[in-house]
Amino acid sequence: MKRYSYLLLVALLLLGLIVPVTYSSWVQKKGQPVGQTGTPAREETAPAQGTGTTPTADGEEKGTETGSANSRSEAVGPVSTASGKMPAGDSQQKQAPQQPSQERAAEPAPPASGSVTVVGIAVVGSGGELLYGPAEVRIGKESSWGVTALGALDATGLPYTLSPRYADLVDSIAGQRNRGQSGWMYNVNGEIPAVAAAKKTLKQGDKVIWWYSKSIDQAPPSWDDLEKQR
């Protein structure tokens, strides 16, 4: 009885080995791979990135129109860039030649009518620097301040202000303002007039110097020295 039991056990073991091997061989002959669960696994092939192909039901790969268009665009792009030619249809804009600048230093315009008086003028700053001239300016009776020392200053084009307290007194020129005992003075032909600049009449060829004086004792600059400094 034990012998038959032993033989039966051996037969079951052999059967357990033979059946899987036989089934596997049968499946391989059919061409279907066996999945991990014992059911035929379905293998899906994803198209490679950048190839522009998609699998069809017949297993054939057909290139997509998008992939082809992109390939053509990438091929054409570098050629156009390397050749330096603009694509057809693009209008080429020609840059207009630059005109030479006609801007010049502002020159006082002569009066539209009436007689013109030409005088020389120089403006010296607080540090002894030349703010204007020595140079000639043209003034006339129709000017803002007439043919006066203040009219000559106005003709230079330098910015200036008048004192709100004292009429016709120049308070600042080119941003340099009177402070304490320091301030703006003027002379005509080397002499300091005893009247305000707006009341000092000039004649043809006069030389006017405006300078920033730091004390009453400071000597005014001379016209000849200013011409050398120019």
Residue 218: what pLDDT? 85
Residue 215: what pLDDT? 87
Mean pLDDT, range 180-200, rounded to an integer:
94
Q: Which residue has the higher pLDDT, 41 or 10?
A: 10
Residue 80: what pLDDT? 41
Dihedral (C-alpha) 220, 225, 229, 230: value to the nearest 10 degrees?
Answer: 90
Residue 12: what pLDDT? 75
Residue 24: what pLDDT? 67
- Overall pTM surpassing 0.75 (yes/no): no
pLDDT digits (tens, 9 = 90+) for 130-185: 999 899 999 998 888 999 999 999 999 999 999 988 878 999 999 999 998 899 99
Which of 88-102, 121-135, 185-199 is predicted least confidently? Answer: 88-102
Residue 168: what pLDDT? 83
How far is it, in rounded angstroms, from Cα 68 to Cα 47?
Answer: 15
Q: What does the DSSP 8-state code read for residue 164? A: S
Q: Which domains does the chain have, with CATH numbers?
A: 116-218 (2.170.130.30)
% residues pLDDT > 90 (the chain): 41
How far is it, in rounded angstroms, from Cα 167 to Cα 110?
Answer: 26
Name every residue whose Cβ is closer than 8 Å to that of residue 146 and which is 6 or more positions away in sequence: 139, 140, 201
How far is it, in rounded angstroms, from Cα 132 to Cα 125?
Answer: 9
Mean pLDDT, range 205-214, rounded to an integer:
96
Scan for tokens 């990438």, then name that residue.
74
Amino acid at 120: G
